[in-house]
Structure 1
């Protein structure tokens, strides 16, 4: 069987559900040398036992190979490489001349593109949207806030885990070739980036509250002009935007740690408030 053919499907849906139950814990077994290698191997154990039922030597070799290889991907889309690797392990069980280095190559090739998509869709987009939806409820002490957040974030990611696992296994390595030839990964990543940036911009406007109490005296003796009113006329929410960009610059460019940054914002905020500069 060539590497780009659809798998014969030795594993059943019941087998995939068992693998899925283990795969949910993929990110719970990390270590620095191999990252998710232990979780990846743990998820595959039931399948490898069935695939190599008549060949203990190859089964042990597969355990050792996956445990010794570095693996790191956004967990919610990790089902795709897991499914593809299962299909390739089936090929290895059937073909005595199969080159197992291609399994390592597929895992390595999928990590980068899938992590770019997964981080953008789930961390930079879905999590931000979920936070924006429930933050007002949570800040008001409504218990439905955190519950709703978990539902908005976890239902899509749990579904995605299953869909990617099943699709990766059913289509085998052919799925990778189709994705690369169509350019769908780049398109999804770009679209998700646009949505994520829009959501972050909306959160800046609605959830960052910063105004100035400065005034400009009226030379004619009338009421002073509020500086904040001028800002609102020219560019509403410009001060929250500037604050967010400043924090982004400090974290991204100056590598300032988050904890000192928060303490600094607190101290500077109190000082500026006491001086009457911010409201």
Structure 2
């Protein structure tokens, strides 16, 4: 690969270590605010240890990545490579804005997953399974073997080359951005995209629908509370709960307490017939 040939021996050694570590990236799930964060940090440790020489700088880089990360496995290595290049630039340039690293990382999760999920889960896996099942139905053991090869060989190659591509593109891309002054615009846009993605996830995953009804003046007619809530503001209760959870997190309340509190509240409301 031309990109790999243009890298130094030290770069290749570092990226090989990152590559093998990256297979564990999606293995850690550590709560609502640090989803896959530990896996990302473990993957990026060879980069952090190489480019940052003092414990203070290394700690700052590690803390920087204790944030939510979730993108399609295999192709998410493009983000890892790009982040590695940005960390390299940050270690050498005192004027580099480290906030741009997390902003760009957050903004790429959605687009990368938008490409990776349909391809790996919706196309490649289905095609590989269809061919494998057709052979397996005849009693051939090659059905299972062919399925594993058809899916895993392309996935392995994409996983490998995505990392090197992200790192190689990142180095030249960041240099051009700083020379043109576009890094400030990119950071702002990336931050907005990251917030938009998190807002969309909140709207699509946080649900509340009450079945509570109140009779009107003793008549047979009932007033459905949910319909009135929707008239006031669709999703009023979910956004209120989300903002309350965010406020508690800002107050340094343990995330496990918040999670179990919401679970207990849901159980109590369910038993009371509210939702």
TM range (shorter): 0.5 to 0.7
Matches within 5 A, 1:242-261: none
Residues of 2 paired with 1:138 and 1:14: CA distance?
41
Distance 1:8 1:55, change over 3 A: farther
Give the root-mean-square deviation of aligned CA atoms: 2.4
| Contact map agreement 1:10 1:90 (CA 8 A) in 2 | no
With a CA cutoff of 8 Å and minimum separation of 6, indicate the structure with the bigger relative contact order.
1
Residues of 1 paired with 2:20 and 2:114: CA distance?
24
List runs of 5+ in structure 1 lacking aligned partners.
1-6, 179-279
| Contact map agreement 1:81 1:107 (CA 8 A) in 2 | yes
Find the counterpart in structure 2 of residue 24 from structure 1. Answer: 23
| C-alpha distance after superposition, 1:74-132 (max 9, x if no partner) | 01111111011011101111122321110011101110001010011111000010011
Residues of 2 paired with 1:57 and 1:75: CA distance?
31
TM-score (norm 2): 0.57
List runs of 5+ in structure 2 lacking aligned partners.
1-5, 178-275
1:137 to 2:135 alignment: yes
Residues of 2 paired with 1:94 and 1:83: CA distance?
17
Residues of 2 paired with 1:59 and 1:154: CA distance?
34
Find the counterpart in structure 2 of residue 106 from structure 1. Answer: 104
- The alpha-carbon deviation at position 142 of structure 1 amounts to 2.3
Find the counterpart in structure 1 of residue 55 from structure 2. Answer: 56
Q: How many residues align?
A: 170
Q: Which structure has the greater CA radius of gyration?
A: 1
| Contact map agreement 2:35 2:67 (CA 8 A) in 1 | no
| Contact map agreement 1:138 1:144 (CA 8 A) in 2 | yes
| C-alpha distance after superposition, 1:34-69 (max 9, x if no partner) | 2221111111111210111x2221111111221x21
- The alpha-carbon deviation at position 139 of structure 1 amounts to 3.0
Residues of 2 paired with 1:107 and 1:10: CA distance?
26
| Structure 1: 4+ residue segments shifted above 6 A | 7-10
TM-score (norm 1): 0.56
Find the counterpart in structure 2 of residue 167 from structure 1. Answer: 165
